[in-house]
Amino acid sequence: MIKWIVPLALLIIFEALTDIFAKNWSMRETPWIAVASLMLYLIANSFWLFALKNGADLSRGAIIFSVASAIIAVILGVVFYKEAVSRVQLIGLGVGIISLVLIFWE
């Protein structure tokens, strides 16, 4: 199992970096930030290929990536960009965390 966890974790990390660059580009529209965001996106998705090659199930890996990326995006949005999160969105975040626990439960 560990062989696919590392590339999946790197995918999530690079996706978070991509989100940061994309958000900054949306606020400043500087061309180099857009290019950096696209390059990080390419690197991130390269790790997805390695995760799949090393035994990540498509269904399990996609859920882990999606939920973990969403959780990190919410944290980044709230902490760095002062975005508001509603009570319903927080409940959804909690359900996402529960889903990660259930995905890893065997």
pTM of the model: 0.88
Tokens read off for 46: 């390269």
> Residue ranges of the chain with pLDDT lower than 50?
none
Residue matched to tokens 């259930």? 102
Q: What is the pLDDT of residue 105?
A: 83
pLDDT of residue 1: 55
Do 67 and 93 meet the contact criterion of CB atoms below 8 Å apart? Answer: no
pLDDT in tens, 26-46: 998 899 999 999 999 999 999
Q: How buried is residue 15: exposed, middle or buried, by Cβ count under 10 Å (0-12/13-18/19+)?
A: buried
* Residue 2 confidence (pLDDT): 80
The whole-number pLDDT of residue 33 equals 94
